[in-house]
């Protein structure tokens, strides 16, 4: 993983998240929601980089250039989810309903005492899954980039402090030691597996019409420490009070197989995860919260 040279921060003023949380609590809904919508237009107007990446992504997923209103909807979906995170950080309950696919295997793993690696993506309500695992009794270390202006992370970390801790990737020199210590202490790890900036291990997989590079670190950790891997994504309900969670099948390294065979099985597992993710992205295109360049197409040499 590569070091971030400086502490970045979320867009907007340092008091922005605190103000949004205060306003939602004290302003009537009929006033707050139009203000949030108007503020989203300000974000669209003042964040040209994120606007360009939104347009490029939606051109691929929609098969045509998006309208300005569709770009606004993409930004607004993120703002809406941010408000859910802020409410959860204040202690508001967030109900989770598991979709039937792979439900039994996922529940069995969560109820077991075996540490696991929980992967997800910057999609829908997935940012809350690490905290909700902690709420269900799992001791989870969430791998995150420390950024400024992130009251959502601070509040959620405080709310779930008994079960959740953070491993910050800003300092790669100590990260491997921190990972090893957390795993050997019996903790599970939760990490996002779609951005390449901080991953030294990437491989090409089919996603959105091309062979694109994705981080593969979670599987290297699985083979190194003999830990199962499962991915989860979440779509927030329309009432903003709960989430529908979709789990993948569980990948478990085979101790009797060679590393090469296990690695190939891991590749097949991750490809199936990405097929599942792509189906959700196409069904809910505004819930892909990567306002960055889409995962790059792999060079011909590694196709």
pTM over cut 0.85 = yes
pLDDT computed for residue 199 by the predictor: 64
Each residue of 157-167: pLDDT tens digit?
676 666 777 77
What's the mean pLDDT when you consider all of the chain?
Answer: 86
pLDDT computed for residue 66 by the predictor: 97
Question: Does the structure show a pLDDT above 70 at 147?
Answer: no
Which of 127, 154, 146, 86 has the alpha carbon at shortest distance from 243?
127
Report residue 38 as tokens.
């108007």
For the chain, how big is the Rg over CA atoms in Å?
A: 19
| Three-state SS at 207 | strand
Question: Does the structure show a pLDDT above 70 at 122?
Answer: yes
Report residue 211 as tokens.
């062979």
Measured CA to CA in angstroms, residue 71 lies from 211, 229, 253, 272, 286 at distances of 25, 34, 41, 29, 8
Question: Does the structure show a pLDDT above 70 at 128?
Answer: yes
Question: Does the structure show a pLDDT above 60 at 6?
Answer: no
DSSP state, residue 200: S
Each residue of 220-236: pLDDT tens digit?
999 999 999 999 999 98
Which of 29, 18, 22 has the alpha carbon at shortest distance from 239?
29
Residue length of the chain: 303
Residue 4 banded pLDDT, cuts 50, 70, 90? very low
| Three-state SS at 136 | coil
Residue 85 in contact with residue 152, Cβ under 8 Å? Answer: yes
């Amino acid at each position: 993983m590569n070091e971030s040279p400086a502490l970045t921060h979320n867009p907007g003023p340092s008091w922005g998240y605190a103000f949004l949380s205060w306003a939602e609590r004290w302003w009537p809904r009929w006033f707050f929601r139009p203000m949030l919508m108007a503020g989203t237009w300000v974000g669209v107007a003042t964040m040209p980089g994120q606007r360009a990446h939104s347009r490029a992504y939606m051109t691929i997923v929609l098969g045509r250039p998006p309208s300005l209103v569709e770009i606004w909807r993409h930004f607004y979906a993120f703002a809406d989810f941010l408000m859910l995170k802020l409410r959860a950080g204040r202690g508001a309950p967030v109900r989770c309903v598991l979709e039937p696919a792979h439900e039994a295997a996922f529940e069995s793993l969560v109820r077991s005492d075996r540490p696991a690696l929980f992967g997800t993506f910057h999609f829908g309500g997935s940012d809350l899954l690490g905290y909700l695992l902690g709420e269900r009794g799992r001791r989870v270390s969430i791998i995150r980039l420390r950024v400024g202006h992130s009251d959502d992370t601070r509040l959620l970390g405080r709310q779930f402090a008994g079960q959740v801790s953070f491993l910050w990737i800003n300092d790669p020199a100590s990260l491997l030691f921190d990972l090893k210590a957390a795993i050997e202490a019996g903790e599970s790890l939760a990490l996002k597996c779609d951005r390449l900036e901080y991953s030294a291990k990437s491989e090409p997989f089919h996603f959105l019409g091309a062979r694109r590079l994705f981080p593969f670190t979670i599987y290297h950790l699985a083979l190194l420490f003999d830990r199962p891997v499962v991915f989860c994504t979440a779509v927030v309900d329309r009432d903003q009070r709960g989430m529908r969670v979709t789990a993948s099948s569980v990948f478990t390294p085979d101790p009797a197989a060679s590393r090469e065979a296990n690695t190939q099985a891991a590749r097949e597992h991750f490809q199936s995860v990405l097929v599942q993710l792509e189906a959700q992205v196409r069904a809910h295109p505004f819930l892909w919260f990567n306002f960055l360049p889409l995962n790059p197409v792999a060079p011909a040499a590694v196709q």
